[in-house]
Amino acid sequence: MLQTARLTLREIEVSDAPTVHLHLNDPAVTADLLPLPQPYTLEFVQEWIADLRAGKFGDGIMFTILCGETFIGTMYLHVDQQHRHAEIGYWLGKAYWGQGYATEAGREVIRYGFEKLYLRRIYAYYFARNRGSCRVLEKLDLKYEGTQRQDIMKDGEFVDIGFCGLLRSEWEHV
């Protein structure tokens, strides 16, 4: 479990599935996430969380972000131990956007990745059109590394994917 001034981050549990299901059926929340299976059922979410916790998707951790007792989103590190790097990703329920929660959680997850998992690099991919997510990553000191043009099909159109990264040596000097 990780703690910040306002947030608690703990490993996701199957009991979180109803809230995940609720948020990930909000088109505003999923507009800039990779395409999800449709319909996105509660049963699918429960099975996905169980598989995630069992390690069926590789190494890493999916954190539930709690503000008090309220589930507001998730943040994950998908870890590749061989190369000592991890992808960071996140989403928040719409009611929690613009309040600094993603940045606050991200700082703690990055610290955890570098200090506890001994990562050398943390990186992120994001929909280039998503200025809010881009801004969060900038606040986390991830450096823009490029754009994969028309890389992902989302809602019938090809969209650009930006990517950025942070080296442990850069993080240590921030």
Confidence tier at 174 by pLDDT (50, 70, 90): confident
Proportion of the chain above pLDDT 70, given as a percent: 100
> What number of CA atoms fall less than 13 Å from residue 120's CA on the CB side?
6
**15-27 exposure pattern, b = at least 16 Cβ within 10 A, e = fewer:** ebbebbbebbbee
**Segment 92-146, tens digit of pLDDT:** 999 999 999 999 999 999 999 999 999 999 999 999 999 999 999 999 999 999 9
| Single-letter amino acid, residue 94 | K
The pTM of this model reads 0.94
For residue 77, what pLDDT band results from cuts at 50, 70 and 90? Answer: very high
Confidence category of residue 56, pLDDT binned at 50, 70, 90 = confident
Q: What is the pLDDT of residue 39?
A: 77
